[in-house]
Structure 1
Amino acid sequence: MIQEQCTHRNNVQSTEKPHVYKVGIYGWRKRCLYFFVLLLMILILINLTLTIWILKVMNFTIDGMGNLRITEKGLKLEGDSEFLKPLYAKEIQSRPGSPLFLQSSKNVSVNILNGKNKTVTRLVAGSKGIEAQGKLLEVKSSTGKLLFSADDQEVVVGAERLRVMGAEGAVFSNSVETPHVRAEPFKELRLESPTRSLFMEAPKGVQILAEVGDIQAMCKSELRLESKDGEITLDAKKIKLLRLPEGRASPTATRQTVFEVCVCSNGKLFLSRAATGSTCQISNSVCL
């Protein structure tokens, strides 16, 4: 430090010696000042070193940092990225030729809001399954053809074929409307109601057709063919009525294998041994 000497002189001559005042920092104050300056320089060097190290580790560049790059089209992330808070973006897409992978420990939710910030469409993919909520759900092919559609009124399957692979088939709790029911080639068509009745109704008729195979109708109680205004026609080369009861034969009847089919007033059918005339009246004990 610069030492200044100040000489105080009076205009009046005096016999006393002049006093000298020293101005500056001396002793322990000077040593403390030098220590703080040295400590400040060390902290500046440490701070500068840590800043350079952070820039190197985080890969800070002019275009961004780490896996994050700032481009003309927006932000570009390379590798795995984790967001701890909500992410707001207009568009999220993967790199060309690479898939877009979303991973969550609980679920992934996609919400569509209206102008009043109310959820109108929601898609939740969680551990229990996928849940979709909205006014309309549509699935289309790559050509734009409607494959599946569902809303509050109806469910539409637009594919050319609906295949049910379950062993129990398809279960409908209410009525089914269809213009055509057909089995696969070389497969059987079976309509079954294990505990209830099965009804087939049509205003212009119901047609059951087997061009190559057989048609079988089996039941445990009664099989009824009823025509209110028309007739029932059995058109075949052979008509077999198996296990019909045989009426009581007359004592004078001889052993023969020719029978006639008789009908009771209550609709029962039975066999009676044929004769020159009708024997149904003789053997009508089956009708009782």
Structure 2
Amino acid sequence: MVTQRTEESSLPSVRPLLLNSLVAALIASALMIFVHELTHLLAGLALDHASILYPFGVIDLDSPPEDDQVLMLLSGPAFSLVTGVLLQLWTPLRGRADFLHLVWLWFAFISVQEGIMYLCLTPFGAGDTGQAAQLLGLPLPLQFLALAIGVGGMFLNARAFAPHMARHAGADPRLRNAMTLFPWLYGMIVSVLLSIVYLAISPAEIPASAQIAILAAGTALLVFAPMANIFARSVTAVPYEPLRLRAVPAGGLVVLGVLVLGNILLSFGLQLG
């Protein structure tokens, strides 16, 4: 028993990686959604249309022509996807191996996941790409092709995350779950609850179908992380580079609190244009 306890005490602690990953993922999610919705708003302003910004979407104040609506709808997913891919390829904070590096990673992969999720929604007429497809009269086979590309993209995103999982969590399944599975599970719960709060206090009239889509998005934004374990065998040669993390990311919790407060205020709407 003494030997077993000694071996257990020598194992790396799971809690710092789990807590830091969770907070980093929630910060990255909030930032990504804000930037995504801001892109919709800026696209509308560029086309001379006034809109109201909320933490869960943008509502037009006028009736833009269909061509403008398509551009405004697709601007968000396109920006998220392109930005996410670029940030995945460029990781300048890797040498720091700290909390900021985690935020960068989560923001990059969540951004790609956002664009991919919209592709998956295309044939169902929901979300940005679904609405754009309806306005364009896109043939149904092409809509299902977008769905297939989206599903494939989810696996590619997970495959791209796998080396980071191996690099920063090593081969220890406890650490891998702390960086992938549990941030998704706990992050999903927090994200959905926050979305319920934002929708409940907002004066915006959001259709029930749109509210369901908003809540469903909170369950899928981080799913690429646990999916990375599917590709565990392909990253066995990645060298272990443990992160240098504080036991409690106090600064990250402060930033997260500020973002949540900002979204609560934004729930009442910010009109521009």
Q: Provide the TM-score with structure 2 as the length reference.
A: 0.13
The structure in which a higher percent of residues are strand is 1
Between Structure 1 and Structure 2, whose CA radius of gyration is higher?
Answer: 1
Q: Provide the TM-score with structure 1 as the length reference.
A: 0.13
